[in-house]
Amino acid sequence: MDWQAAIRDAWDEDWVRYLLLPGLIALALAIAGWRAERRRKLRSDPDAVPLLPWRDISFWSSFAALFLLGAAFKVWLAG
C-alpha cells in the first residue's frame, strides 16, 4: 500500500478538515494559554492585569479541543 497516497487521501476526509484540524489548533491555543497563565503566576507582580485573559482562553480552548478531538475520534472509529 502506498502510504503517501493514504495520507493524501486522509486530508480529503471531511472529519479531518472540520474536526481534527480545528481540534489540534484549539489544543495548541490551550497550551499557549496555560503557559502564559503560568508565566503570569510566576512573575513578581501576579496581580497585574494581563493583556489577554489567558485563564479564560485556556479554559475555553481546552473545552473546544476536547469536544472536537472527541468527535473526530468517534467519527474515525465509525470509519
User: Residue 25: which pLDDT band, with cuts at 50, 70 and 90?
Assistant: very high
Instruction: Decide if 38 is inside a domain.
Output: yes
Q: Express each pLDDT in 30-74 by its tens digit.
A: 999 999 989 888 888 877 777 889 899 999 999 999 999 999 999
Q: Is 9 helix (H, G, I), strand (E, B) or coil?
A: helix
What span, in angstroms and rounded, lies between the C-alpha atoms of 15 and 21?
9
The answer to whether the CB of 50 falls within 8 A of the CB of 40 is yes
- Report the alpha-carbon distance of residue 4 to residue 78 in Å, rounded: 23
Residue range of the domain that includes 32:
25-44+51-79
Is 66 contained in some domain? yes
**pLDDT score recorded for residue 15:** 82
pLDDT on residue 49: 76
Q: Can you give the pLDDT at residue 14?
A: 82
Nearest Cα neighbor of 30 from 3, 1, 4, 69 is 69
Q: What's the domain count of the chain? A: 1
Res 29: pLDDT: 96
